[in-house]
Amino acid sequence: MTPSSIQAQKSKRLMVFCGRSVPGLGEKIAETLHIKLGDIENKTFSNGEIYVRYRENIRGSDVFLIQSTSDPVNENLMELLIMIQAARLASARRITAVMPWMGYCRQDKKSAGREPISAKLVADLLQVAGADRVLTMDLHQGQVQGFFNIPVDHMTALSIISGYFRLKQIPEEEIVVVSPDVGGVKRAKKFAEKLGPKVDLAILTKTRPEHNVAEIMAVIGDVKDKVAIMVDDMIDTAGTMKAGAETLTGMGAREVYSACTHAVLSGAAYERLEDSPIKEVVVTDTLPLNPEKSAGKIRVLSTASTLADTIQSVFLDESVSRLFEGDDQLF
């Protein structure tokens, strides 16, 4: 007798594709997962329009698209949006936008009338294009998770960075972690805790002694004779980092380090860091660095294995928070 249906076993398939912003990071992630990067054609026509085509079948797959929306941010964002839409139209089962660095994430509220909230716009664009999930790292504010209606896996590289500093074996009581501004004190405190209970905390703040007088930088907390580590989520133009290092040195700090997850490094950032009293700048590979300029003080740690582990956990429905809890207990 003819049956009225066809049965088939259901399996799932993980595929990873990479945009043109961070090809190296994509390669490393794929390597860690023991797969080849998926075959995709990404090109820009002479009129500036981007074209994308998947060169292998992705029907029913669990697709992870790796793209940092680094400079040129609008090019990279649009490339990611097109990759997402094409994957949806090509019947991927689930699409995860893996954005180690999410551009525009600092424009996350209106500070003045008639401003945009660009980070919310980016969230809306990713969703309307067809992303089912987002995987990102050290958002400027964790609240940006709430801009999405889809699940967000929010990783952190703080442990990678603090792990690196622990290898230097500086005595805890000689370290002071410094927040470069009043908005980042919470992050600085978390980082200090990862380095040990006796690590101190200080805050840099810009202040104007009187009306019509130029702003100066002041330190709240004690840094004298200490090893100061300025920590932030990102370094952009490096102006604050340079001024901060000078202030800290002026206040008697023995050595000054600078650390962050996202090395945006725009404008004269490389030059400023080079010219500053900072001894070493510790960053990660969530954005591509300028290989010619990053030779000197800059030390780049890789987030590839963290990202690969998370991708695998998401694919296998295993706990992701577990990955970071285990981490916490090391410190």
Residue type, 10: K
- The catalytic residue positions are 206
Pairing of strands 62-66, 216-220: unpaired
**Dihedral sign (CA 93, 99, 104, 106):** positive
Q: 12, 43, 168, 224: which one contacts a second copy (CB under 8 A)?
A: 12
Nearer to a second copy, 160 or 202 (CB): 202
Nearer to a second copy, 64 or 165 (CB): 64
Which of positions 106-135 make contact with a second copy (CB under 8 A)? Answer: 107-121, 123-125, 127-129, 133
What is the number of residues in the chain? 331
Which of positions 148-167 make contact with a second copy (CB under 8 A)? Answer: 149, 151-152, 154
Q: 198, 290, 295, 330: which one contacts a second copy (CB under 8 A)?
A: 198
By CB under 8 A, which span of 2-10, 18-26, 277-285, 292-300 interacts with a second copy?
2-10
Nearer to a second copy, 90 or 301 (CB): 90
Which of positions 218-247 make contact with a second copy (CB under 8 A)? Answer: 220-221, 236-237
Interface with a second copy, residue 305, by CB under 8 A: no
Interface with a second copy, residue 182, by CB under 8 A: yes
Which of positions 56-95 make contact with a second copy (CB under 8 A)? Answer: 56-61, 71-75, 77-78, 81-83, 85-86, 88-91
Nearer to a second copy, 249 or 312 (CB): 312
CA distance 229 to 280: 10
Q: 103, 180, 244, 288: which one contacts a second copy (CB under 8 A)?
A: 103
What is the b/e burial string over 134-171, where b = at least 16 CB atoms within 10 angstroms of the residue's CB? bbbbbbbeeebeebbeeebbbbbbbbbbbbebbeeebe
DSSP 74-111: HHHHHHHHHHHHHHHHTT-SEEEEEESS-TTTT--S-S
Nearest to 190 by CA among 240, 154, 156, 220: 156
Phi then psi for residue 42, to 5 deg, are: -120, 120
Total site size for a second copy, rule CB under 8 A: 125
Which of positions 263-282 make contact with a second copy (CB under 8 A)? Answer: 264, 266-267
Dihedral Cα 263, 269, 271, 274, nearest 10 deg: -50
Nearer to a second copy, 250 or 267 (CB): 267
Q: 22, 29, 52, 158: which one contacts a second copy (CB under 8 A)?
A: 52
The arrangement of strands across the sheet holding 94-99 comes to 62-66, 94-99, 133-137, 152-155
Interface with a second copy, residue 329, by CB under 8 A: no
